[in-house]
Structure 1
Amino acid sequence: ATYGEGDPTDNAAEFYQMISDQDLDLTNLNYCVFGLGNSTYEHYNSTGRFVNKRLLELGGNRILPLGEGDDDSTLDNDIIEWKEQLWPKVCTLFGLDGSDQDINMRQYNLEELEDPDMSKVFTGEVTRLNSYLAEKQRPPYEPKNPFMSHMLVNRELHKGGDRNCMHIEFDITDSRIRYDAGDHVAVYPCNDQKLVEDLCVLLDKKPDTVFRLTAIDSYASKKSPFPCPTTYRTALTYYVDITSCPKMHVLKEFLPYTHSEEDKTKLELMTKTTMEGKAAYQEYVVKNFRTVNHILQDLPSCRPPLDYLLELLPRLQVRYYSISSSSKAHATTVHVTAVVLQYETPTGRVNKGVATNWLLPQVPSDDKHYSVPLFVRKSQFRLPIKSEVPIIMIGPGTGIAPFRGFLQERDVAAKKGATVGKTVLYFGCRRKAEDYLYQEELESYVASGLLTVSARESRGD
């Protein structure tokens, strides 16, 4: 996958560096590559393209042309079509029977514990790692070792309207976390408790039942999909994604657990790789923003076991936000500017963003036990090294976030006597009276001569 300015993802960085720097002999390697990207970005799928080319240079045998998935368009279809070419190649290469047999392969066995030792039961992501305990935290802080930050500020930026936009400040005092204007902060969110409890009701499970999932394959490197033993509530809250549209392969696994012919026919159509099947999936699931809860509500005879659903659903991912501050002005805090996502779907339901709706009601307090796990991810988005270089910034809405950090940095430089080049911001909002973000701050920079602003409304009178 490619993110940012053509960079590999965090979990691929070490591999990317290895094949870039080392003169490896891969003459015995058979390989194929599928790249994930977004065509709206300049460096579309550059990581996948590089890996595909580099493995060939190192002597690898490419068994299939590069596949590319476009997250801005038909990503699921791109993957399905590429896999249809992949498996016959793999079967031929290894002399396997390529007959088209659908096999339901469970990876884990379920065991529900009637009298568990609660001191050994995992109760959430915050207790998964020893480093999450405040008294045991040690840098460096990264995806597997996030810093438990205390929220200092959570204030509303919108002056009116029906939306919320949060300005949040996280405390990083004594963390040794260093960041630059333009970097990102990653936040570990939690799923909404109502969605969690609704899903348990749909699948007839008590949310606080303690269970364990154990790998069927005794040689499997991953003994369980997440820390066990745990509860259904914990797994659904912290570990799996229940708010995204389920993929076609997940719906296919629902078929054996669907009893109504009408429901089964609908599912079967949506899991076919034909043009008709893909269109049905797009119409029913994607265009209507149906989540797994919605599908189970709308197909009442579809009732897969909850433990199998926990196998099938993807892991809940961290959310990245552009840092809206400069460490030169705020060395002990990280600022975030985020609109709270909430929208009505064509089916009349209201979908909510996971992280922003989790953060919205949080009130800063002196309670250090209620914290937000986070880490900083470096970016290549930077101010010019020389402050005298003029810059033009274009940031509608929360797109202003990194530029607020840039402005703070230039303001610090100017106050220290440095020459600061012309700094121009083009900002857009719906209505200045409602959602002109950081208006007072920007006006103060204009008054000091640091900034020139051109602000426009899209829905003003």
Structure 2
Amino acid sequence: IMYVCHSQCECSRQKILVPLNGLLNIVVFYGSQTGTGEEFANRLSKDAQRYGMKGMAADPEEYDMCELSRLAEIDNSLAIFCMATYGEGDPTDNAQDFYDWLQESDGELNGVNYTVFALGNKTYEHYNAMGAYVDKRLEELGAKRVFDLGMGDDDGNLEEDFVTWREQFWPAMCEHFGVEASGEDSSIRQYELKEHNDINMNKVYTGEFGCLKSFETQKPPFDAKNPFLAPVIVNRKLNKAGNRHLMHLERDVTLSIYESGDHVAVYPTNDTAIVNKLGQILGVDLDTVISLNNLDEESNKKHPFPCPTTYRTALTHYLDIIHPPRTNVLYELAQYATDPKDQENMRKMASSAPEGKALYQSFVLEDNRNILAILEDLPSLRPPIDHLCELMPRLQARYYSIASSSKVHPNSIHICAVLVEYTTKTGRLTKGVATTWLKNKLVADNGHKSTVPMYIRKSQFRLPFKASNPVIMVGPGTGIAPFMGFIQERGWLKEQGKEVGETVLYFGCRHKNEDYLYQEDLEEAEKTGVITKLNVAFSRDQEQKVYVQHLLRTNKEDLWRQIHTDNAHIYICGDARNMARDVQTAFYEIAEELGGMTRTQATDYIKKLMTKGRYSQDVWS
């Protein structure tokens, strides 16, 4: 009854509507920006088979959600929504149309059974806003909630939250539908392996995300399903000293357009050495051309990643082999461990028993073991590589705040990033996938231009419409990125003869002589009057640590005038867990002291600024 969009390739926008027959009981819709919501949806749809039901994971972007009401016509049907919240309480890109439909719909969903699992992060202002909205709105439209809203917190242990919710959800569903679990311990394969021994290599995917050869044709519109290759034109180290590596990259985006405050999504590749080690440890020829084909012919997801391709391409471009695997992967792979103790421990880690949770927390999460480390430390575990590839989540794009203005640099975007590198408790050196890959992107590599697959993601992080409004920017470390674009744009506006309000920056770093990013540019901007006041906190240049929030309190009178009298817009960029919270608290205190407010009134005052779009955050955790 639901209508699914089948397409020849992932980047196709052509909609061919095919009715799914009444065998389908469960549709798991996902709103996913970084892949976790999709991963959870796949796990729930796979679970359905264990209960004698037929389930499928579905991208709401590919469906006519007006047909949701027709699920009521199928006996024992259920719509599950795994909905992530992105940014400041926003839907993910693929759930935007669904969100708009929910807001505008006055449709009747009577007889539709549903439940929602929300994915979010408590450090963000709008924790699980999208999941909570979907849960509330579906009920308002007449649908029946058959299980309580699940709340997943990525600042805590999202996997544990999901597993706990899932283990309570399925028994409740069995009771609701009057069914029993069957074959709980058996592994269910979704895809079957086909090896291609004689294939035209022009028909083999080599890292494209959309249509075959899409990187050669480069046809817009460019988005998550159709990125373009941007040549790297600058790659330089930003910091003067210290043991960290901070970098500034510029890329040619003649093919695309952007605005100050937007994000760029970058698709990295995995470390060749790790890919080769996986091939060696599993004893396979990584250059074998394969397809993994869905065993369910009616599914709209024909392959877990673009096929046909090679194991090498899949492990390099398509699969996340660096993050510690989730519990379902351990559960599925346990059957291949020949040591009974290894098998027992892997199954235990996938359970919701306190002992199992503790073992997963210590062995996998705290020790930061990726799939290669697990295979190295459990020598009895040697799964077939095709099953491993089926279970691994997709390698996701990394989002960076753009550090340039399109008014000044219309054909290039700038980003700044810090190389992620640390030693785990097991003594292994772990490197960030994207930052390591970006660091090695030379401007010219053997005479060829280095390129980066990417697309521009529009943001709400925008300068005020009226240039005469003051702006207050707070961005320590690489949180300076969007403000480099803002400063360039305010300078350009001044050159055009526009009246530009005060432009105040609060930047923070560890040491003035080490990691004062863009020092020359910022000091020059202050000298020419583009920046009205440059405030820099050096946290470790003196005995007493000084952070940006301390400087805010020092300048409280000016800040209160700018905010309360002059209609200033406030922008925060950087760490959500500590910095953004501490900065927000500083603004509460300033409103209390200089506005003569109680803490409750001060909190409401700042929240009202957020609602009006005068307090914006571009934060991460």
Shift of 1:385: 1.6
- How far off is 1:43 after superposition? 0.8
Question: Which digits, 9 at most, give the CA deviation of each residue in 1:333-363, with x for residues without a partner?
Answer: 1111111111111111111111111111111
* Paired letter, 1:39: K
- Corresponding position of 1:190: 269
- Does the Cα contact within 8 Å between 1:125 and 1:239 map onto a contact in 2? no
Any residues of structure 2 matched to 1:375-390 within 5 Å, and which? 375-390=455-470
Given candidates 133, 142, 152, the residue that maps to 1:69 is 152
Partner of 1:249: 328
TM-score (norm 2): 0.71
Asked if structure 2 preserves the Cα contact closer than 8 Å seen for 1:152 and 1:171, the reply is yes
**Structure-1-length-normalised TM-score:** 0.95
* Residue aligning to 1:342: 421
CA deviation profile, 1:110-169 (whole Å, cap 9, x unmatched): 122333332322222268544321xx3222211112122111111111111222111111
Matched, 1:404 2:484: yes
Secondary structure at 2:513 match in 1: helix
Give, in angstroms, the shift of residue 78 of structure 1.
Answer: 0.9
Corresponding residue to 2:350 among 267, 271, 290? 271
Residue 85 of structure 1 is aligned with which of 150, 168, 192? 168
Indicate the larger mover: 255-264 or 3-12.
Answer: 255-264
Q: Does 1:308 align with 2:391?
A: no
1:374 is aligned to 454
Aligned residues: 457
Q: Distance in 2 between matches of 1:73 and 1:416?
A: 48
Of 85, 105, 117, 1:34 maps to 117
1:11-410 superposed matches below 5 A: 11-98=94-181, 101-125=184-208, 128-133=211-216, 136-173=217-254, 175=255, 177-365=256-444, 370-410=450-490
Query: Per-residue CA shift, 1:240-264, capped at 9, x if unaligned?
Result: 1000010011111121100113322
**Separation in structure 1 between the aligned mates of residue 219 and residue 309 of structure 2, nearest angstrom:** 26
Distance 1:33 1:217 in 2: 25
Q: What is the identity, as a one-letter code, of the residue corresponding to 1:437?
A: L
CA deviation after TM superposition for structure 1 residue 454, in Å: 1.7
Distance 1:28 1:141 in 2: 39
**8 Å CA contact retained: 1:126, 1:373:** no
Answer whether contact 2:210 2:226 (CA < 8 A) is retained: no
| Mapped partners of 1:328, 1:194: distance in 2 | 41
Q: What is the match of residue 447 of structure 1?
A: 527
Deviates more, 1:232-241 or 1:373-382: 373-382
Sequence identity (%): 52
Please give the alpha-carbon distance, in whole angstroms, between the structure 2 residues aligned to 1:383 and 1:364: 31
Partner SS state of residue 358, structure 2: helix
8 Å contact kept, 2:86–2:92: yes
Q: Which is further off, 26-35 or 202-211?
A: 202-211
Q: Deviations over 1:197-253 (max 9, x none)?
A: 111111111111222212222333222212222111001011110000100111111
Residues in 1 aligned to 2:540 and 2:119: alpha-carbon distance in whole angstroms = 36
Alignment partners' CA distance in 1, 2:257 and 2:196: 44
CA distance in 2, matches of 1:263, 1:429: 46
Point out where structure 1 has 5 or more consecutive residues left out of the alignment. Answer: none
Secondary structure at the aligned position of 1:31 is classed as: strand
CA RMSD for the aligned pairs? Answer: 1.7
Aligned partner of residue 148 in structure 1, secondary structure: strand
Deviation at 1:281, TM superposition (A): 0.6
CA contact (8 A) 2:443 2:450 kept: no
Shift, 1:428, TM fit: 1.2
CA contact (8 A) 2:503 2:530 kept: yes
Please tell me whether the aligned partners of residues 442 and 450 of structure 2 are also in contact (alpha carbons under 8 angstroms).
Answer: no
Cα distance, 1:150–1:126 mapped onto 2, change above 3 Å = farther
Structure 1 counterpart SS, 2:324: coil
From the superposition, tell whether residues 88 and 266 of structure 1 become closer, same or farther in structure 2 (CA, over 3 Å): closer
Does residue 426 (structure 1) correspond to residue 506 (structure 2)? The answer is: yes
Q: What's the offset of the Cα at 1:99?
A: 5.8
1:18 CA drift (Å)? 1.4
CA distance in 2, matches of 1:302, 1:72: 31
Q: Is the 8 A contact 1:392 1:423 kept in 2?
A: yes
Tell me, which stretches of 5 or more residues in structure 2 are unaligned?
Answer: 1-83, 543-621
Kept in 1, the 8 Å contact 2:208–2:214? The answer is: no
Q: CA contact under 8 A between 1:27 and 1:60: conserved in structure 2? A: yes
Partners of 2:456 and 2:139 in 1: CA distance = 34
Letter in 2 for 1:454: N
Q: Is the 1:150–1:368 Cα contact (8 Å) retained in structure 2?
A: no
Q: Which digits, 9 at most, give the CA deviation of each residue in 1:35-79, with x for residues without a partner?
A: 111111101111001101111111100001111101101211111
Tell me: higher relative CO, structure 1 or 2? Use CA pairs within 8 A at least 6 residues apart.
Answer: 1
Post-superposition offset of 1:270: 1.5
Contact 1:37/1:45 (<8 A) preserved: yes
CA distance in 1, matches of 2:386, 2:179: 31
